[in-house]
């Protein structure tokens, strides 16, 4: 897509969002879930296969380098200073043969190129070095879109008295969205970090953040989230 095409797409989306917002508000949607007392940062699939060029899963590199990674760096700094939990989520598969009698991916391999994140190539599913985990942070391996589905995430968060999750990462239309949907369903207050969420497809981030904000969580800016985290740390 050209720059002009993207600008036109943004205009069309904004027009659609304005009309949809009116409908949602009239019907009681777009309420605020708000913050609790102890948040955790849940970073979804910000591993090399998604953040670096050259992989089928690679996301928009302009946004990744200019917004998403810098946004994540700000959030990590805020959460680390506040001593709130940080969970880095990644995805990889051990059995990537589509014809195998038994796999660890369900039937997802019939839709997406899961062989591009083979467990044997650690560099692919390692968290991007620009936002690498530090001692005391947890790296979680998932097999499905949601970071909650079939994983220990909810149990770990509850054991650490977490009541709010700030979700970042990729992709807006799949793993980030599903994590937020399952997060609020499991009883966590869900906050989506606007500038720290990406995708591969133009328009996917804007549309999904709009829809998430209407029904599944509160979309907030990275700067506002950092300020809130600092305030909660003092409390």
List alpha helices for the chain, DSSP H.
3-26, 48-51, 61-63, 69-82, 122-125, 153-159, 175-185, 204-215, 222-234
CATH number of the structural domain spanning residue 44: 3.40.50.850
**Domain containing residue 133:** 31-234
Please report where in the chains the tokens 């720059």 appear, as a residue.
3
Same domain, 90 and 77: yes
pLDDT the model gives residue 19: 72
pLDDT band at residue 55 under the 50/70/90 scheme = very high
Known catalytic residue: 175? yes
Same domain, 4 and 59: no
Total-model pTM: 0.91
Rounded percentage of the chain residues whose pLDDT exceeds 70: 98
Same domain, 120 and 12: no
Q: Which of 59, 173, 175, 226 is catalytic?
A: 175
C-alpha to C-alpha distance for 162 and 160, rounded to whole angstroms: 6
- Domain tally for the chain? 2
Please report where in the chains the tokens 């970073």 appear, as a residue.
43
Beta-carbon count within 10 A of 68 CB: 29
Same domain, 17 and 103: no
């Amino acid at each position: 897509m050209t720059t002009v095409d993207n600008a036109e797409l943004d205009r069309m989306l904004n027009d659609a969002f304005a009309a949809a917002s009116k409908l949602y508000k009239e019907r009681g949607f777009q309420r605020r879930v708000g913050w609790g007392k102890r948040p955790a940062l849940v970073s979804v699939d910000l591993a090399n296969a998604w953040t670096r060029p050259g992989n089928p899963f690679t996301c928009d590199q302009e946004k990744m380098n200019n917004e998403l990674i810098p946004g994540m760096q700000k959030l990590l700094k805020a959460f680390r200073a506040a001593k709130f939990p940080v969970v880095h989520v990644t995805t990889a598969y051990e059995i990537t043969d589509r014809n195998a009698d038994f796999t660890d991916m369900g039937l997802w391999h019939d839709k997406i190129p899961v062989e591009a994140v083979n467990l044997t190539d650690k560099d692919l599913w390692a968290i991007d070095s620009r936002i690498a985990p530090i001692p005391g942070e947890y790296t979680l391996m998932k097999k499905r879109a949601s970071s909650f589905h079939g994983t220990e995430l909810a149990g770990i968060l509850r054991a650490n008295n977490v009541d709010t999750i700030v979700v970042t990462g990729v992709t807006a239309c799949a793993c980030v969205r599903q994590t937020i949907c399952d997060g609020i369903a499991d009883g966590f207050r869900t906050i989506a970090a606007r500038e720290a969420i990406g995708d591969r497809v133009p328009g996917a981030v804007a549309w999904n953040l709009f829809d998430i904000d209407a029904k599944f969580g509160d979309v907030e800016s990275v700067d506002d989230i950092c300020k809130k985290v600092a305030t909660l740390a003092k409390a």
